[in-house]
Amino acid sequence: MQDGQPAIALKKLKKGLAVDPDNAEIHNVIAIFYERLGETQLAETHYAEAVKLQPKNPYIHNARGSFFCKQKRYQEAKDEFERAVSNPLYPTPWVALTNAGLCAERADDKTLAESYYRRALSSKKDYPLALYQMAETSLELGSYLPARGYLERYNSAAQPTAGSLWLGVRIEHALGGREQAAAYKKLLRDRFPDAPEVQLLNKIER
């Protein structure tokens, strides 16, 4: 957004809230705005009001869970994500489950993170972010073959990124797959020559 645009948008939202003060979705959007602006207390107030008005809304619980996670309030975040996925009408539970996994990683609980990614993939087997995170987590836990498998599934579901190609390099190095590692390196250098991952690669190959 250009300078001043967030303030203008927030002003419009507040006008909408003045007309419809019990609109949970407006409270939720205002909370997200305040969160992005660094107004933590105001964000929390509007998230709380949104949940109070629509206690079963999974989108609000997912957003509030992400907010709590950024504040390092990990148990509260976990509870919000679980509330989101407990709604059988939530059409995209894999999103909240993956967010819960990312939050568990921030809390340095890789085992819990892995369980959330598995649950996400149980509800949507080709969700790219969950596949990527499972590949990364599996590598960190020393499960190299599963890491390769998850990354291959990711490659079938999404376009490669500098991060995914660098992950492929690291997985293949761990497995001793020289040819595949070389292929990942070439793709990384050809497609993303200015990426930080290329600098890392160049550094380790000096």
Q: What pLDDT tens digit does each residue of the chain (206 aa) get?
A: 444 576 778 788 888 888 888 889 999 999 999 999 899 999 999 999 999 999 999 999 999 999 999 999 999 999 999 999 999 999 999 999 999 999 999 999 999 999 999 999 999 999 999 999 999 999 999 999 999 999 999 999 999 999 999 999 999 999 999 999 999 999 999 999 999 999 999 998 87
* Tokens at 74, concatenated: 């990990």
Asked if 157 and 145 touch (Cβ cutoff 8 Å), the reply is no
* Tokens at 168, concatenated: 């492929």
| CA gap 133, 101 in Å, rounded | 8
CATH topology of domain 125-206: 1.25.40
Task: Please choose, from the candidates 148, 145, 171, the residue with its C-alpha nearest in 3D space to the C-alpha of residue 185.
Answer: 171
What are the distances in angstroms from CA 47 to CA 26, 61, 170, 185? 10, 9, 40, 44
Task: Please choose, from the candidates 147, 192, 137, 138, the residue with its C-alpha nearest in 3D space to the C-alpha of residue 201.
Answer: 192
| CA gap 81, 39 in Å, rounded | 22
pTM of the predicted structure, to 2 decimals: 0.89
